[in-house]
Every structure is written in structure tokens, then in C-alpha cells.
Structure 1
């Protein structure tokens, strides 16, 4: 059975595709040449399952999306106290390229604005590091997060350096106040190369999932960051990651996120998944317009909002799978939201369910979130297309809407109809 999740992600893209508002980042000539119609999305679970749709393999540069990851590296290398000596953790309420400094000690107010990110960049590999060694340390680390070797886009980097007066002025002020020790031009060079690392949307989803997974890369299994480092990074992303739109973001979408002016946008749901979108048209705050709209839909559909009072999945949603030569019965349990149904669908793909009858027992399911319901029905429909006779065991009427995407209804069955003397495979 093919997973219906990429189909669901494509529907999200289709719903936002018609929005032509905003414009590409024209203050960087190389970025100004971007195709404004690119649109991609990817999702990676903390168990390492990747789903994507649209232009998810189109390459672009990380830009400010690199900031939380490099901040996490600084925390990992030096600890919170040393990092907090040079950058704060408070929202600025100002644009990303403003000189937002604390009044008493002149530290940048947070690491998600340019001034803070330049200061954090200078901590990597030690304050005495050469530009080349610092950049290689960052590039190598970002590659480990993505699970493959990444490279710097030299054309974008050179284009940005030719128009870096604003960042140079920030670096000169940081040096004047003793926040950074390096030459201002070297500091901006190192920071610009950091921002010019090229990725695709699948890479970003995996990297976001690594933060969600407490620092363990979900595909390679490598432990890259401590869990406390991820917690601190996600907290700063939640309050500062969307610049002067951060308050609206946390209220409307409700997940830690970070945007980049190349059109990328990442979001992280701790313990569950990482999501990334790509669409180059930006709003006045420098955030991808269609990316923001896609995230709003994902949050509403999937119940991702951190402040949601709905139950969270805390146990394996597949309680048991029984089967004999003719019948397979999948017993589910608990709250079935997007993360739970993703696990269910993936597990079902792993089992040999080439049976003439497949029944889904939801008698032990407490609640069924709307996107969980939609994807479960689509999974059943696809099993039927492959030749199986499908049914749902639902004595409490949890499946309130039984209509599938083709207009037919999910058949119901009694548990007694599926009392099989087969072998449990869980």
C-alpha cells in the first residue's frame, strides 16, 4: 500500500498555490533570480520516515534557517552561560536586520536576528579560529544534521557579500562593543558562508526532526546534540524565530519555527516531527507567504499547536496485529492524531497484509483527530484498490464520517466477525 501522506501534502500545496502575493528577496541579486513559482513541502517523523510533495528536491540556500542550528552548535560546544554572555534570548519586536542590542551590556537581544547570529557564528570552533576552519566546522555539522554532505553555494555567497553593507555595519558595532573579537569583514564573510549552505526541503525537514528528536538524527541514528540543547533552541525559535511576526505565529500556528529569505521555512513539533516548506515569495517580514499559509493549514489539520489541549499520542497506536491465511486485524489504541496515524500507516506497509480481508479495530481508540480519520480512510481505500475486502470495527461510533475520497463508505463490522485464531505479529 502506498502511503496517502504525500497525497495529503500535495493537497496542502494545491490549496496555497494560487497565492501570488509577495516578492522574492530582490536585495540580493542572486536570490532575485529565483523562480517565484517553486513550491515544495516535506515532513520527517522522529522515527525517520520522510514524506514530500512538489519541488521538495529543489536546491536553495539556508539563509537565516541556519541560525537556530548554529546556535545549537554553540550551546553544545560552550554551554548556555558562555553563549548567553554574548547573546540574549528575548524577542526583539524589530526587523531581522536591525541593530537590536540590550541597553545595559550591548548584547544582541536574541540569536535569530542578524546581529545575534553574527555574534554566535564567531563562537564556533573558538574565537581564535580562522574563517576557513570555522566555516568548515559549521558546514560539516550541518551536513551531519541533514544526513548527507552539503556544499556552499558560491554564487549566492558572492552576491550577498557584494551587498553586505548592513551586516558589515552590525559587525562593526558588535566589535566596537566587544561582543566579537574578529575583524568585521571576516565575521561577515564567515556568517555569509554559513547562510549560503545549499539544501533542499527534504534536508530541512530531517534537520528539524533532529531537533524534535532530542538531537538524534532520525535517519542515521547519530547523536549530534544534547536534549537540553534542543530544548533551549526550540524555545528561542518559538519566541523569536519569525522575527517581528513571532507573536502572531505562535498564536496562529503554535510551533517553533524559522524562516529564511530564500523562501525556506521549518517547523518542529517536539518529540514528533519536523516540517519544511519552500516558496520564494516573501512578506514584509521576510517570511515565505505560501509557506506560512501551508503551516497554518498543517497546524489546524494535524493538531500541531503546542498549546492545544487535545490528547497527545504517548503509546504505540498499533496495539496488536493478528492474521491468518485469509484475514488481518489491526487493533489500534489511544488518541489517533497525525503522528499516530503516520506510525500506523508506516507499520502497515511493513507487514505482509496481502490478505483477502483487512479489518481495522478502533474499539480501543479514545479520540480520532480529523486528519487521522482522513488518512486512515484513505489508507483503507488504497488497500481495497489493491484487492482487499476492508472493514472497521467501531462499536462506539468513533469514526463519525465514513465517506472515503471516492464517495463510498467505510464498511462496518462486528468484532465477532473477525475472531481469528491467527498469530499475533506484535
Structure 2
């Protein structure tokens, strides 16, 4: 059967084909872009890719590089050191405004140009060339293929980078930028000139949606903590002075670029990339914004859409027949606090008439730290009440030294856990 998703994406392209906006004309290379190009690509966290339109057209990454460079700098410098250099507050101003904190000189966030230039300087490397090469290599790993720098785009961008040079010199003057301002802007301009397609960007965004794990290679490229920080800043600052409208209308952590791209990463679900060169007054793709609004509405992708994961975390609870019955709780899904609380509440409120409880995690594909601690604690308390507890965990959703220290019986199959009671 032919999947309906590509057909739906074509419908979205047809519906969002507005002619408003204009290409970026302050960088000659971008001014020459074909304004009618329009592509979209979705990449799921398991690596499935859907696309429509000009999804394989190449263009430069521009400001969509900012969150990824921020992630590398977080790994190199540490979160605390980065917080001393760059704030995480929305500026409420255009991307190229001078938004520096009085007294410290910190840029408001890493998504505006001042913060992005400073972020680039905090990536480990002897000079701008080394820093850009590290970023290019990391972007390539996220995209799943080798990316290159468009040298003509770099030359065009750096030759017209007067405002960015002014921002860098200003940060040098207040003491927040340590390296040479010209070197920092040159490196940042090269970073923005890395060539990508919608498919590349969708895979990069899917890596963020997948907690830093590249969906097709399985490589943990960014730490979960760094990804949480990156997505948080994207959500509040990624769309510049339109961030409030974006949050209410779309509700997906996102970043735009003046080449006409927009990326979005919906945690645990999908990475999205749209390309169309005509820009609105905020410097974001007109069609890109409209497309994301349509996807969010049609597919329920807004982060603030209320989920009901807690209600479905406990799949079933039953007591086996026979002379030596066992109480079984079957858990399912991605177990975070609300899901774990549902399971814990059901167990704690039950009147157990058997001497053995089995927690079946066969359908629980992931437990975060809170979920694990809650289940282990309820197992411990059942033990204090004189009830034996066993876990069925074939995919090792429970893991780590605290699991081994618990002394729980572990089984790969529910039948084996139930039979173990009968064999006693």
C-alpha cells in the first residue's frame, strides 16, 4: 500500500503556496535564490523519512546552525560556564539587534546573531577554521551524510558582514568576547555557509527530537541535558521577535534561517524541515511559517496539546487462576512521572490477596529516571509488606546499578515469572 503521508505533504505544499515575502537581498548569494522553490521533509525518531517538493534542493544552513553550535559549545564549556557568557531570555528584538545585558555584556540568547557569534567563539578550536570544521563534522553526523561548505556563499556573506562585525567588536569592547572579533565573525560566517537540504535538516532536527541520538545510525551525538537546553532556547527564542506568536500558533521548538529554511523538533516524535526562500518581516520563510502552522493544526503537534499517557500506562491488571495465584500488572508505553504515578496508585490502592506480584514491562519501551525510581520504590514497599515481587523486562527498560541493588527477580517472559511461583 502506498503511504498517504507523502500525498498529504503535497496537499500542504499546494495549500501553503502563498506568494508573499521576498528573498534576503543583503547577501548577494541569497538574493539570487529561486523564490519559487518549496520543499518539506519529515523524519521520525526511528529514521523514517517523508518528503515532498524541492526537498533535495541545496541551500545554506544560515541561522538554523545556531542551536547545533550551541549544543557543541555546551559540551565543550559546560552548562554553568555557558550561562555566565550567554543568557537564555527572549530578546523581543530582531535577530541582528544589539541585545547585550547591562553590566555583564551577555547576549540575551544564543539564537540572535550576537549570541551566535559568541557561541561560535566558545566552540573548542585554535581558530575559526578549526571551530567550523568541528561543527561541519558534527552537523554531518546529525544529517547522516557528509556536508560541505559553500565557499562562494561564505565569501558573499563575509564580504557583507558589517553589522555582525560591529556586534563582535561591541562584545570585545565590553569584555565578553575573548578572541579576535574578525576571526569570530569569519568562523561564524563559514558555519552559516554549510550546505544542506530539507532532508539533511529534517534528520538533524530528528536527532534533537530523539534526545540527541541520530535516528538511523543510533549514535548518541548530543547529551540529553544539552538537547533539553537547546530545545528550550529554540522554543522561547528560535523565532526571534515572533517567538510568542510561534509558541501559541505552532508550539514546536524551531529555528529559521534567512536562506528560507525552518526546522522544528517535536520531542519524542519527529523532525521537520521546510524550505522556501521568500521571507517575512522577521526574517523567516513565509511559506515555512504557514506550513508549520498547518502541520501543527492538522496533526496535533503543538507541545501544549494535552496528552493522556498516564491513563494508558497501565494496560491491564489481573490475578492468575490456580491454587497459587499471582497478581500481574502490565505496563506499557513511555513511562514518565504521570504514567508511573498511574501504575503506582493502582498498586498502592489494591488489596492484594496473593503473595506475589509481577510487574510486566514487556510493552514499556522506555522508563525515565523518575519512572524507574517510582517502580523500584513500590517494589521495595511491597516487599516490606511481605509480598514477593518479580519484574518481566525483556528489553531492559529498567537498568543501572540501582536495579541490580534492588535484588528483584528478573524474567524475560511473563509465563516464566508466573511459573516460578508455581515451582516454589
Partner residue, 1:302: 299
Distance (whole Å) between structure 2 residues aligned to residue 313 and residue 214 of structure 1: 21
Partner residue, 1:255: 252
RMSD, matched Cα: 2.0
Partner residue, 2:35: 36
Cα pair distance change 1:315/1:59, threshold 3 Å: farther
Partner residue, 1:218: 215
Gapped regions of structure 2 (runs ≥ 5): 314-331, 334-424
Partner residue, 2:133: 136
Matched, 1:56 2:55: yes
Partner residue, 1:269: 266
Whichever of the two has the greater Rg, that structure is 2
Structure 1 residue 161 displacement after superposition: 1.0
Structure 1 residue 125 displacement after superposition: 1.3
Which of 156, 170, 173 lines up with 1:173 in the alignment?
170
Structure 1 residue 185 displacement after superposition: 1.0
Structure 1 residue 310 displacement after superposition: 4.2
Structure 1 residue 76 displacement after superposition: 1.8
SS of 2:85's partner is coil
Structure 1 residue 180 displacement after superposition: 1.4
Partner residue, 1:164: 161
SS of 1:85's partner is helix
Deviations 1:163-218 (A, max 9, x none): 11000000101111121121111111000000000000011000001001010000
Distance (whole Å) between structure 1 residues aligned to residue 175 and residue 141 of structure 2: 32
Distance (whole Å) between structure 1 residues aligned to residue 301 and residue 290 of structure 2: 14
Aligned length: 318
Distance (whole Å) between structure 1 residues aligned to residue 39 and residue 308 of structure 2: 30
Higher helix share: 2
Which of 195, 204, 209 lines up with 2:206 in the alignment?
209
Deviations 1:32-55 (A, max 9, x none): 000000000000000110000000
Partner residue, 2:240: 243
Which of 174, 182, 185 lines up with 1:185 in the alignment?
182
Partner residue, 2:87: 88
SS of 2:12's partner is helix
4+ residue stretches of structure 1 with deviation over 6 A? 313-316
Distance (whole Å) between structure 2 residues aligned to residue 251 and residue 115 of structure 1: 26
Distance (whole Å) between structure 2 residues aligned to residue 314 and residue 283 of structure 1: 42
CA contact (8 A) 2:104 2:176 kept: no
1:92-111 matches, cutoff 5 A: 92-111=91-110
Distance (whole Å) between structure 2 residues aligned to residue 7 and residue 125 of structure 1: 44
Partner residue, 1:114: 113
Structure 1 residue 151 displacement after superposition: 0.4
Could you tell me the TM-score, scaled by structure 2's length?
0.73
Matched, 1:279 2:276: yes
Structure 1 residue 130 displacement after superposition: 1.7
Distance (whole Å) between structure 2 residues aligned to residue 199 and residue 108 of structure 1: 27
Distance (whole Å) between structure 2 residues aligned to residue 49 and residue 250 of structure 1: 26
Structure 1 residue 311 displacement after superposition: 3.5
Distance (whole Å) between structure 2 residues aligned to residue 131 and residue 262 of structure 1: 22
